[in-house]
Structure 1
């Protein structure tokens, strides 16, 4: 039982580290706001099929919802980043990055 718990904890830690590496473009072991915006912004770029900087209703999943500009999307990501940055150091570590927003 103890061995199972230890292996589960190790797996969770490895998964967090792998997730962090997806964001960490400079390999310093932490995620800056710019890295967070760049990684998370890929979703916006993929949805903005005409590349005009706005996700229109017809570009949204299900074709429903209000249009959103890149600026509004990035502003929301910045708010998310600062909520996740519980230490307030301007970077996310693996634990902060994978924590539910508070």
Structure 2
């Protein structure tokens, strides 16, 4: 499964990068790929390309704030979740997405 997404927390620092790291690491451990863009106090980093978005099976938005550029994901399966949920159980989240959304 190819996953793309955005991580963003209220301060745009710690939880943003922890969520990104946990999602990417969990995806790899489960045999998937993940590319996560961050949006925070220093702006957007690792911005997703249109090609990456087009190739993705699912979009995960791990955010505690309003993010910009959601319209890029029109027509995609999108899961929106707080960063705390991603940080606590990234593998469980990916497994649930695979079971409920991608195979549906």
Please indicate the TM-score interval, normalised by the length of the shorter structure: under 0.3
Larger radius of gyration: 1
Scaled by the length of structure 2, the TM-score of the pair is 0.25
As a proportion of its length, which structure holds more helix? Answer: 1
- Relative to the length of structure 1, the TM-score reads 0.26
